[in-house]
Structure 1
Amino acid sequence: MKLNWKYASIAGAIVMAAATPLPASAQTVSAASPDTIAAVLTARGLPSELKQQPDGNPYIRSAFDDMPFLIALMNCDAQKAQCKTVQFYFGFNDRKGFALEKLNEWNRTKRFARAYLDTENDPVLVMDVDTDMGGVPKAVFNENLDVWLGQMQQYRRFVSE
């Protein structure tokens, strides 16, 4: 059996191309590139809609388990682009006057996400993620998203007690 070196070379090139890692930018998630955040949400089956606040700051609207939440893109440049951090935000507008003692209990006993009363006296939950310096690996962002989604579920139960 005679080996055809031309086809062997092509096959070898295909294998090498498949084994070549993607560029770092394709493997990272960054507030400077909101589409990378949207792609993670979409891959997880979560809705993703890029919006702007009245002051022009960008955010992403999403939802999980019938709970709407926002991902605010923060620490942006003057053009409201090239953002460095994100803040996950989840709140209740039907729990006015929620006890500060209960929020302090949450903050004392939980890690990663913090709770407070917003300017309209609604209990909210936030979690910050720094994506500066070229972004974070997609796996790390997914882990942060897992933490956030779990915290949201716990917080919903907490404020409903």
Structure 2
Amino acid sequence: MRRFAWLLLFWFCDPIISPAWGNITASEPQGIVDILHNHGYDASLTHVADGDPMIRFHFLEKSIQILFYGCNRGHNCQSLQLSTGYDLPNGISFDRINLWMRGHRWAKVYLDTDMDPYLQYDIPTVPDGIADKLFLVMISSFGSSVEDFSRFINFKHN
């Protein structure tokens, strides 16, 4: 939550204290890694089995993946998805997930076949990308959702 407050401060004080801002697009994965590095995240670029890019970083000790969608053989990707999963000993019920979802607008949750929840947040970046600072606000918003959801399900980070 504190990181979100700082990002809002940077947003409103942009002309005074921030460097020049640009746009990020899903077609430029290294640019996304660079922005994350520049804002204190230890991010790494890798690829999934089909060759599409994937970025990994941590938020409050929770591993987060940025998945790339609408790619053409690993290039010219169209959108991003922030994602993190929770391996729970007994899973979680649909009713419990629905209870959380009713109070949260931006992030979504689905359950895998073991009833383990995955928290996700979609970010379209076409045709011209999105502002760096908006991307960082979305990262922070997702981080707040991770924090809220982890608390809601009583998840203890390793």
The verdict on a shared fold, with TM-score over 0.5 as the criterion, is yes
* 1:77-116 paired onto structure 2 within 5 Å: 77=72, 79-116=73-110
- Any idea what SS the aligned residue of 2:120 has? strand
Please name the residue that 2:153 is paired with: 159
**In structure 2, what is the equivalent of residue 137 of structure 1?**
131
Q: 1:49-64 alignment to 2 at 5 Å?
A: 49-64=44-59
User: What's the % identity of the aligned pairs?
Assistant: 26
Q: TM-score when scaled to structure 1?
A: 0.79
1:44 lines up with 2:39 in the alignment? yes
Contact persistence 1:58–1:80 (CA under 8 A): yes
Per the TM alignment, residue 57 of structure 1 is displaced from its structure 2 partner at its CA by 2.1
Say which one has the larger Rg: 1
Matched residue, 2:112: 118
Question: CA separation in 2, counterparts of 1:71 and 1:33?
Answer: 13
| Contact kept in structure 1, 2:22 and 2:132, CA below 8 Å | yes
The residue type paired with residue 44 of structure 1 is H
- Tell me the residue number matched to 1:11: none
> Which segments of structure 1 move beyond 6 Å, counting only runs of 4 or more?
none
| Higher RCO (CA-CA < 8 Å; seq separation 6+) | 2
- Structure 2 counterpart of 1:62, which letter? F
The CA RMSD measured in Å over matched residues stands at: 1.8
* Aligned-residue offset at 1:95: 4.3
The gaps in structure 2 that reach 5 residues or longer are 1-19
How many residues align structurally? 137
TM-score, normalising length from structure 2?
0.80
